[in-house]
Structure 1
Amino acid sequence: MGLEHRLLSGAVKAGLALIYPPQCLSCGETVAQGGGAVHLCPACWPDAVFVGATCCDACGTPLPGDPAPDLQCDDCLRLPRPWDRGRAALVYGGTARKLVLALKHADRPDLAPALGVWLARAAADMVAPGMVVVPVPLHLRRMLRRKYNQAELLAAAVAKHHGLDHQPRLLRRIRHTEGQDHRSVMDRHANVAGALAVDPARAARLRGRPVLLIDDVMASGATLAEATERLSEAGLGPISVAVLARAVKDA
């Protein structure tokens, strides 16, 4: 891109910012910064808990103390994960919960690019050469109702941010499942067992490549575990997971 083009592009962006000032992703109030900024107003910012450097290496749960390699939370020590590493951008609650619900249920796919940048930054230390980005899929019944897959939108933003190969059709949901809310951990795993499948033709072309598996929220990790097992059986891996928000106890 030449200097004149960059100057023109910058002028256009500046003009648009005057006409359409950046808004808080959560409440819509005008915020001071835009572009790659946080996009939250002073009222919504305190209720957004971003996960810092000290977190569980397997699921992204924030932990006390100083960062250290291979830290794991109690849940991951009790129930080892089938994937290699995991990260989360936010703790599920407050502003994060409002954003996730807006993205999923309030017809707000416009939130995905900015939220995807947050997720891309959280997952940055797991990015590897040749990695493919794979979203957890929706069943056709739910896709027809919602019109889009929020995990796919987040995955597209993550792939773009890191220059990775986005593979939204590698995983398929072959069985409709009821919601996971209010189920025990065992029931959650049973609910999604056999619900996902890998496209064999795509998997054959991608065999041996590392995977970054993307979803919007992790609670028990049952869906991510099912997806990981199917991808591993198809010869892909190692597999890392990244979610926009991690549900934690007492959040």
Structure 2
Amino acid sequence: MTNRDISAPLSASAALPRRAAKAFAAALHRGLDIIYPPTCIACRAATQTHGTLCPACWGRIRFVERPYCEQLGTPFQRDLGPGIISPEAIADPPMYARARMVALFQDGPARQLVHRLKYGDRTDLARPMGLWMARAGRDILDDADLLVPVPMHWRRLFARQFNQAAALAAVVAKAANVPLAADVLQRAKSSPPQVGLTKAQRAENVQGSFVVPPEAKLRLEKRKIVLVDDVLTSGATANAAARVLLRHGAARVDVLIFARVVTPS
């Protein structure tokens, strides 16, 4: 009897447990679907699979697709050609190189998802939202060296027990196969909430908020960083964080967010 004759039945027998495990997992999922039917993650209407939107909510989200500003990621009304920069980016260039987002932050499902993840203890939303972010940011993730979530100050983290940026970044890191570095950027001061502040006030509010620990400096040198957060409003937080990362040797900082506030021009 040859080695091939011996290995064939061994390979077949080894495959049996794997097939049995897959069959058991499929049966378990079907059973759970009966006990906990899949529903829309925004409005709770019935859906075919877990972690998705119903057709109505899907249609109400304004997803951001090309054409958009190459730097800010904000959508254009018409295609102006590849690599076009918006007047806003030219007039007030951000510290980061490129921003990518899933959707615009408007009333409806996009706002509901962000608020439920951030304030409603709906940590289960991090996975579908993070997977959408990984797809939306594919071009900036392809050559990224590190994913860095926007950190919370320890007091706010203690009160909330949850950093939504870190949860989203963990999902993106796994989906895009990019290392997660949640400890290279820290929040040095607890700034007042940004809600209701002007753009200038927001920038002043976060000034000096971020630091890079001494032990993390070598990990940033010549690295291409993708900064991850849930929402970008004025860009003050992203600019402040990007400035610190670049100052400590990062080669480039891009920004990946779930939604962005865009005011009509």
Taking structure 1 as the reference length, the TM-score comes to 0.91
Report the equivalent of 2:4: none
Equivalent residue for 1:54, pick from 61, 67, 87: 67
Quick one: which of 168, 171, 183 aligns to 1:169? 183
**Contact 1:213/1:242 (CA < 8 Å) preserved in 2?**
yes
CA distance in 2, matches of 1:7, 1:59: 46
Equivalent-residue separation in structure 1 for 2:238 and 2:81 (angstroms):
24
Matched residue, 1:42: 55
If you compute each CA radius of gyration, which structure gives the higher value, 1 or 2? 2
What is residue 149 of structure 2 aligned with on the other side?
135
Which residue pairs with 2:124 in the alignment? 110
Matched residue type, 1:148:
F
Query: How many residues are aligned here?
Result: 248
**Equivalence for 2:93:** 80
Tell me which residue corresponds to 1:17. Answer: 33
Q: Which residue of 2 aligns with 1:151?
A: 165
Find the residue that maps to 2:251 and give its secondary structure.
Answer: coil
1:27-49 deviation line (CA, Å, top 9, x unaligned): 222212346xxx11233222211
Identical pairs, percent: 36
Q: Secondary structure at the match of 1:61?
A: coil
Q: Structure 2: how far apart are the matches of 1:201 and 1:179?
A: 29
Partner SS, residue 100 of structure 2: strand
Deviation track 1:92-140 (CA, whole Å, cap 9, x = no partner) reads 0121111111111111111111110011111011113452100011111
Structure 1 segments unaligned to the other structure (5+ residues): none
**After superposition, where does 1:200-219 map in structure 2 within 5 Å?**
200-219=214-233
Unmatched 5+ stretches in structure 2: 1-13
More helix by share: 2
- In 1, Cα distance between the equivalents of 2:38 and 2:73? 29
1:28 pairs with 27, 31, 44, which one? 44
- The Cα shift of 1:169 comes to 1.3
What's the Cα RMSD here?
Answer: 2.0
Please state whether the residue corresponding to 1:235 is helix, strand or coil: coil
C-alpha deviations, 1:127-177, integer Å up to 9, x for none? Answer: 134521000111112111111100010111110101110011111001111
Deviates more, 1:187-196 or 1:197-206: 197-206
TM-score w.r.t. the length of structure 2 is 0.87
Q: How far, CA to CA, are the matches of 1:250 and 1:17 in structure 2?
A: 43
